[in-house]
Amino acid sequence: MITSRSQITVRYAETDMMGVVYHGSYLPWFEIGRTTLLREQGLPYRELEAEGFLLPVLEVTARYLRPARYDDTITIVTTLREKPTLRILLEYELFNGDTLIATGKTLHAFIDRQGRPVRPPPRFATRMNEAFRA
């Protein structure tokens, strides 16, 4: 299992007329968590793309438990529970302080620039083998 933590501060533009974070604003936060986890594993998404490996979102779920508001500091906990193969499933927990405010999951597939499914690059597979062996 691999876990990563990142933080964001809620921007005014991410809130709605009720003064709470708009539901669609959570998905970019998941992306922050996902790219941070990959970067911390020595696998920056930018480099994967440059090598011709893309990870489109196949599925996304989000469950909103408590509202977040402008200027709150949100901690994004991203977890990879299973070693990826052709697909990668990431789980997210968003906290405002100690309070869990949302959870979610994203499922991705490795594809090439022509949209064909591919195996992850060798360095990705090697890094995941190391991480899941530890």
- Whether pLDDT at 134 is above 70: no
Q: CA-to-CA distance for 29 and 51, rounded, in angstroms?
A: 25
List pLDDT tens digits, range 71-125.
999 999 999 999 998 999 999 999 999 999 999 999 999 999 999 999 999 999 9
State which fold the 2-133 domain adopts.
Answer: Thiol Ester Dehydrase; Chain A (3.10.129)
Task: State phi, psi for 50 to the nearest 5 degrees.
Answer: -60, -30
pTM, full prediction: 0.93
**Distance from CA of residue 94 to its chain's centroid?**
11
Q: Which two tokens stand for residue 77?
A: 């906990």
pLDDT in tens, 3-16: 999 999 999 999 99
Token pair, residue 6, equals 């990142």
Whole-number Å distance between alpha carbons of 13 and 51 = 34
| Nearest in space to 74 (alpha carbons), one of 108, 40, 104, 42 | 104
Domains in the chain: boundaries: 2-133
